[in-house]
Structure 1
Amino acid sequence: MKRINPYFLFIPVLAFGLAGATTATQSPVSPPNPTGASTPPDPCATVLRDAENPQLQPVLSLSLMRCYEAHKMDKQADVFAWEVMAAPFWNVEVLALLEAAAHLKDAKKEVANQLVAHPISILDWAPHTGDRKRRSALAELWVQVAQHGPVQSQVKARERLHVVLGDTDEAKAFGKNKQPKLSVPQQKTRIANLSLRHENRIILTEGPKAIKGQPLNEDTCEIAYQVGKSGRKKRHYKKAHRFLDRVLKECSGTPVRKASYMKAKVASFQALSAALPLYDHFLANYPQDPLADDVMMMKALHLETSKKTTEAVATYKTLLSQYPDGDMWHEAAFRLAFALARAADVTGAIAQLDSLARKDKLDAFTQDRALYWRGRLKIYPDLKKLTPTQSQVSKEQGWQELQALSQTRSASYYGHLALRLMFHASEHLHMPASIAAPSPFVPMNTRLQTPLPDLPQQQEELALVKALIDRGYDAEAIWVLDRLQKVGNISHLDRALGYYLAEAYGKSHRELRKARLHWPHGLPVKDTLHTWQLAFPLAYDAAFKNAAEVYELPQSMLWGLSREESAFEKDVTSWAGARGLCQLMPATAKEEAQLGKIPLPNLNALFIPKTNTLLGAQHLSRRLKLLQHPFLAIAAYNAGPGNVRKWRKRLHDYQAMDAFVEAIPVNQTRNYVRKVVGSWITYAYLTGETVQTDFSMQLPKPR
């Protein structure tokens, strides 16, 4: 098919890498009409008028292509599809290129030639590391080049698909019968890329074959290490140890250091007796390694959960003294206090918590945690049971501290625990007369609520984003914001606001996490309210409201769960295969769909908010009915009810819910429960759903 020349030239207007960009400035010229009949109106006239705006000219070729395609005006759509392929604004955006290439399906050879020619040169692109959709789009375009491009480009495309994008469904399908023969360095690169995408099953199949019968060198040592690492992730511990041992025996330098660390990590899931020598080996050989404090933390936690409390306390103290600037310091400082309390050294635990609470530049979560437990142990010194102290002075001091925390941080996990503990004490007559009775959980004053501000207009890039959103071009606005992560000088907060206004809640939340703004301090006030609104978006309100009503759950609880599961990215897939807003595994989703008679025609339906939230809400509701406490249900959502029952049996003497959560032996689940409950409480505070945040501070009796 011969390429159709565009009717009109587009005018470059933006400075950030858009030289030579083009767009339509008027409607296509209609052919003469000899009959004198009136010409039908152009269905894309609105987009064409928007394209007359100099600010929007570089981006609307894509919108015009979409519009004419929707109205089956293929000739006009072809024009703008080629414009997308040629325009500097879009020929660096893989999703736009894929959309244009899909429209030009009858010109596959011409498109393939265009893709490999300057300035696109798509075979030289580095795939996006964290965006599954863009990785898949790039793979699809490389497949088109491999099938229809120039001969040399076909060879390169096949290799790059297999080596660089081997994790994508497109590359897997294409390579089923056409896998290129790879050199050992290429195999190493392929396996390293597969590791980044958590394709552990493929690594465990291909890795051993790649090094079978070969001596270990720089390349094969790395492959052997990756096999060991994947074995750990898939819980094939014997296989993991076998390949890591080979690295330790036959390799040198960095692979040995990495294998030593991975051996310790594998052992952290096994018996303490086997793990201790591996922890100590790494710490003796690599005391200044950036991961040394992580290994010492593994050792301390392993000792603590194995009830070797004295040894755990000593290890935490060593970590705090040897690695004062390490990223494990704050967690170790708290775990030391918790271990001291476990050993009934309440005075030592309170002193440690007091020291931690007074440390400069603490994040909000760590400070809340230290303040809560300092007050809690002054009132209820028995970690496992809510039995009050006999000391009136200690009791009054503790209640004053918890009362202050419940008032200043009521929208947080530990602030709300303080309030619930006050209600527990009031009900059981543990509260001294000098302390005022607890007030109900009061939501945010509605007078504080104000609309989010507009994007600042001083920067040309943000002015473009605002103009696109104002005219309903949300997808284009999102792509512009994506591009601004690589070029331009836009703050995380402004990018978060732009994404939010375009309803890309997941991307907005990710920007806040980068800037550490996703857990704001204190309570919302006039100057910080907008940050709170961005950090806790009322995303997909209709879907969550419907699911909450169907399964009689607080909507704020479902929002809190989704915020931590997916950060509200409705089309995200985790490395383990969990999908959508509530991160449902395929098998779980199918089971819930069958039980609830919820239509699930295929797994892609899990990317539909209404479907996903219904399935997620039903799954959580069933866990809640089974385990009889929201904290336990949330833990089971993450780790499964079997593990929760096992932990309850292991921690059978724990009656206090707050201590049970801190004693959960799996880091991921322990953190997950606190984050989900914290988000749930914050949403309840912001939306007024506070009456549904009552929960018992004591564990229910096991069924």
Structure 2
Amino acid sequence: MIRNLSKITLALALSLAIPLPAHAQSRGDAPPTELAQSTPREAGSSARFRVIERFPERDPAPPQIPSIAPTSPFAPIIEDVERNNWASAHRKLQNPELRPLLNDDASLRFLAATVAMEAGHPAQTLAILNALDLEADLPSLADYASLLKARAALATDDAHTATLAAASVDDQSLLYPDALTLLADALQKAGQPEDQKRAVDVLELFLNAYPRHSRAAAAREQLATLLEAQNPRRAAELFSHIREQRPLSEAAARATQRLRALDAHLSDAQRQLLDDTTPERALTLARARFDLHQSERVINDLNAALEQWPEDAPQRCEALYLIARSHTKLRQHSAGTPVYDRILEQCADTDWELRALYLGGRGRWNSGDRQGALALFERIWQEYGDHSYADDAMYFAARILRSEDHPDDARQRLQAQLSRYPEGDMAKDAHWLLLREYFDRDDFQAVIDHVDNLDKTGEDDLYTKGRLHYFRARALLQAGRTDEAAQAFIKVAHDHPMTYYALLSFNQLASLQSDTTGLDICATVGPACEDHLPANVSSDPVELPEDLQRDPGFQKASQLLTLGLTSLARRELTALRTRHASNTSTLWALASLLDAAHAYPISHDLARRHIHGWMDAYPTQSTRRHWSIAYPTPFKDALTRYAEQRRLNPAIIYAIMREESGFNPRIESWANARGLLQLIEPTARRIAQKDGLGDFSFDLLFDPTLNIRLGSAYMRELADQTGSHPALIIAGYNGGFGNVSSWLKEFGHEDLDLFVENIPYGQTRDYTKRVLMSFWIYSYLYGDARVPALPFTLPSP
């Protein structure tokens, strides 16, 4: 019974006249978006290993977030925390020798309380926190400690303490939404009628401020349950919302039961929504299943439903579209074709028609019906010429004509596309396809003239920047104009720093010197390369702006990172990024601090996706630190050991790791690939057996060392199959050696540059370019080769 306490709570947190918290107003009602899928960082390990690093002794130490010394008895505990190994951390904390150290440091006691809670010992958590004055002892983390205390108290049925602790979280804290839901739980648990009413008030406040919060669905169900007796119409409204927004959830099933019990209070519209046989309900369920990739269920359910619907049901077009798209997801292109045809027949002059033309055309193309695809694509640019699909359709038609051995028709189609849509997003690809045809017929002057006549290329991404001018240089070379070709390659390398085509250009320049055997291509090329990539490069430190140091969120995040609580810090870091988004120097300082704290999934992602323009120039003394943040070297001991054992360049392992997982050891893809190097179970199990690992289990792939062991073994296998060619190892890692072998047989006579452009799978083609670029950057930053050698002649299949 907490009747008196309820008044305190109401005064503290339930004044429903209060405005939305400032952080809700500034960011909207959605919770902060995470910087990256992040997992425990690697702490205290950098001192235990090293890789070759270019002049590391000359790099000033960057500003750092304080960290626990590797020799501290708490270091192994924090390492467990970073890996979410709560039981192990809890066992270690029971060591009596740690008690004096814990008593001297409130932040370590907060860590111990967190570990106890996550390990399933809430009473212990509560005892630790009850002994602290949270505001005085933990000024930066008082809100985190209060929320933890509320959780622990609730878990031990102490509603009094839970209510006080949750109500003490300030409305400016990022934890305020979580505190509101805990406060509602505590008040409901208290059991008194007035507490129940105040629980309702808290939940209404929460849903008004945060309607799309991750806990909103649970809050709606909780609120609806509380209101069933006193306000059944509002309860029915909430249950109906759950049923419509989360139709496949268990909460929706419970909501359906409660709505049937509330039948006397339902409106006609709510009662109609309870009818599971209506077309709208069938579509609601199908949309949810489509989003969950339950493609076969979507096809079966909607085909059955369509037989029951009237011919003029307005939902028919969307239902057919979901069926067709589900066939496409399953790569059942032939089965999807007649469904797209039904959409074209039954849904003319609607938005569904255009979608069916585009996706139906691609489906026919994939199933081998090229003439049918051409007919649908032509309708797009003829009937929907102002839509963004139009230039895509013309480009696809040109590719089909080219594959059908109609080069003249293909050329005319591409020229028409560029004339009609010179600024279209497919213009750069149309230009390239024209150049490719000129290369096929050895018309090198046509390549040169085409590029020279362009005002701009439209090349705006990693996969195309510099492509047209690189192949112009290539045409000059094949036309025997060697000096002009050399100058053209130099210009590509100058204009497009550290890109895939700059890497190719430097290798072409080395080939002109008749020396591609050296470890460092840059030394062969001479000043044209060395001026951009000097051998002796130091690094300026990243300064820590005062406004970042003063930011309370930075202080919270720093302390949480120090304790290894990366998952808790991530929310503060995301908010920091948002608050300082317009200040590039502050973002770099934040990224540098995170890097120094070994929070690599977050730090590299901040540089990679949220700071722009820094890759427009080669690394210099003032920017080299930026590059090392974006391309870090975590897990050095294991990676270096297995790179040496497998006779692999560490740069290629890091390049693939960065692409596959973003250095997140616990990530799992939709295809169930796991860990740092994203291994699927069949491949991992085969490699484990081959490598003598007898006790392998799939869960072990989340262990960084084992994942690197098996991933590097797989790379060695690919290297043995591809003559250790970096580009082929990379392509094989993404597309499989079986595909690489087929491509080598089909067009392996081409030089490397044209071979990569010929890779038919867009994902693998782009992956190969992107990872080769990273391979170069890692080689430059940490290895012996400022520019690694890439043989243009490929091995025989």
Asked if 1:312 corresponds to 2:398, the answer is no
Which residue does 1:257 correspond to in 2? Answer: 354
What's the TM-score once normalised by structure 2's chain length?
Answer: 0.68
- Distance change >3 Å, CA 688–CA 64, structure 1 → 2: same
Report how far residue 225 of structure 1 moved.
0.7
Q: Which amino acid letter does the alignment assign opposite residue 361 of structure 2? A: A
Task: Find the aligned partners of 1:174 and 1:479 in 2 and give their Cα distance.
Answer: 32
- Residues 398 and 413 of structure 2 are in contact (CA less than 8 Å); yes or no, is this contact kept in structure 1? yes
Task: Find the aligned partners of 1:543 and 1:143 in 2 and give their Cα distance.
Answer: 48
Question: Does 502-511 or 326-335 show the bigger shift?
Answer: 502-511
- Distance change >3 Å, CA 692–CA 365, structure 1 → 2: closer
Which residue does 2:140 correspond to in 1? Answer: 56
Report how far residue 678 of structure 1 moved.
0.9
- Distance change >3 Å, CA 45–CA 612, structure 1 → 2: closer
- Tell which has more relative contact order, 1 or 2 (C-alpha 8 A, sep 6+): 2
Which residue does 2:557 correspond to in 1? Answer: 469
Q: 2:203 aligns with which of 117, 130, 143?
A: 117
Which residue does 1:378 correspond to in 2? Answer: 476
Matches within 5 A, 1:554-569: 554-569=649-664
Report how far residue 88 of structure 1 moved.
5.8
Q: Which amino acid letter does the alignment assign opposite residue 458 of structure 1? A: D
Task: Find the aligned partners of 1:75 and 1:274 in 2 and give their Cα distance.
Answer: 68
Question: Does 274-283 or 670-679 show the bigger shift?
Answer: 274-283
Question: Does 534-543 or 417-426 show the bigger shift?
Answer: 534-543
Report how far residue 315 of structure 1 moved.
2.3
Q: Deviations over 1:144-192 (max 9, x none)?
A: 8599876579987887677545789x889999x9998645334434444
Matches within 5 A, 1:492-511: 493=584, 494=586, 498=590, 501-502=593-594, 505-506=600-601
Q: Which amino acid letter does the alignment assign opposite residue 144 of structure 2? A: L
- Distance change >3 Å, CA 309–CA 62, structure 1 → 2: farther
Q: Which amino acid letter does the alignment assign opposite residue 390 of structure 2? A: A
- Residues 146 and 158 of structure 1 are in contact (CA less than 8 Å); yes or no, is this contact kept in structure 2? no
- Distance change >3 Å, CA 251–CA 408, structure 1 → 2: closer
- Residues 65 and 80 of structure 1 are in contact (CA less than 8 Å); yes or no, is this contact kept in structure 2? no
Report how far residue 660 of structure 1 moved.
0.6
Q: 1:523 aligns with which of 618, 629, 648?
A: 618
- Distance change >3 Å, CA 559–CA 230, structure 1 → 2: farther
Task: Find the aligned partners of 2:514 and 2:148 in 1 and give their Cα distance.
Answer: 66
Which residue does 2:506 correspond to in 1? Answer: 419
Percent of pairs identical after alignment? 22
Provide structure 2 residue ranges, at least 5 long, that are not aligned to the other structure.
Answer: 27-99, 111-131, 260-273
Asked if 1:267 corresponds to 2:358, the answer is no
- Which secondary structure does the structure 2 equivalent of 1:700 belong to? coil
- Let me know the Cα RMSD of the aligned residues: 5.1
Task: Find the aligned partners of 1:636 and 1:305 in 2 and give their Cα distance.
Answer: 25
- Distance change >3 Å, CA 188–CA 399, structure 1 → 2: same
Which residue does 1:321 correspond to in 2? Answer: 419
- Distance change >3 Å, CA 66–CA 107, structure 1 → 2: closer
Task: Find the aligned partners of 2:306 and 2:602 in 1 and give their Cα distance.
Answer: 40
Which residue does 2:718 correspond to in 1? Answer: 623
Report how far residue 659 of structure 1 moved.
0.8
Which residue does 1:643 correspond to in 2? Answer: 739
Task: Find the aligned partners of 1:640 and 1:600 in 2 and give their Cα distance.
Answer: 22
Task: Find the aligned partners of 1:338 and 1:297 in 2 and give their Cα distance.
Answer: 14
Task: Find the aligned partners of 2:650 and 2:708 in 1 and give their Cα distance.
Answer: 11
Task: Find the aligned partners of 2:558 and 2:413 in 1 and give their Cα distance.
Answer: 57
Asked if 1:398 corresponds to 2:485, the answer is yes
Question: Does 209-218 or 247-256 show the bigger shift?
Answer: 209-218
- Distance change >3 Å, CA 450–CA 488, structure 1 → 2: closer
Task: Find the aligned partners of 2:148 and 2:535 in 1 and give their Cα distance.
Answer: 45
Asked if 1:490 corresponds to 2:581, the answer is yes
Matches within 5 A, 1:71-470: 78=162, 82-83=166-167, 89-90=173-174, 117-121=203-207, 125-126=211-212, 141=218, 145=222, 164=245, 182=276, 183-196=278-291, 198-214=293-309, 215=311, 217-252=313-348, 253-271=350-368, 272-356=370-454, 366-379=464-477, 381=478, 389=479, 391=480, 394-406=481-493, 411-427=498-514, 437-439=524-526, 445=535, 447-454=537-544, 456-458=545-547, 463-470=551-558
Q: Which amino acid letter does the alignment assign opposite residue 323 of structure 1? A: Y
Matches within 5 A, 1:5-20: 16-17=23-24
- Which secondary structure does the structure 2 equivalent of 1:694 belong to? coil
- Which secondary structure does the structure 2 equivalent of 1:472 belong to? helix
Which residue does 2:36 correspond to in 1? Answer: none
Q: 2:730 aligns with which of 614, 619, 634?
A: 634
Task: Find the aligned partners of 1:648 and 1:126 in 2 and give their Cα distance.
Answer: 51
Q: Deviations over 1:214-253 (max 9, x none)?
A: 2364433213212211211210112322322222222241
Report how far residue 57 of structure 1 moved.
5.8
Which residue does 2:266 correspond to in 1? Answer: none
Q: Deviations over 1:653-699 (max 9, x none)?
A: x3311111111122222111111111111121122252893332111
Which residue does 1:478 correspond to in 2? Answer: 570
- Residues 304 and 312 of structure 1 are in contact (CA less than 8 Å); yes or no, is this contact kept in structure 2? yes
Task: Find the aligned partners of 2:446 and 2:157 in 1 and give their Cα distance.
Answer: 77
Task: Find the aligned partners of 2:331 and 2:503 in 1 and give their Cα distance.
Answer: 37
Report how far residue 519 of structure 1 moved.
7.5
Which residue does 2:757 correspond to in 1? Answer: 662
- Aligned pair count reads 651
Q: Deviations over 1:439-460 (max 9, x none)?
A: 5987665643244443x44379
Task: Find the aligned partners of 2:294 and 2:591 in 1 and give their Cα distance.
Answer: 30
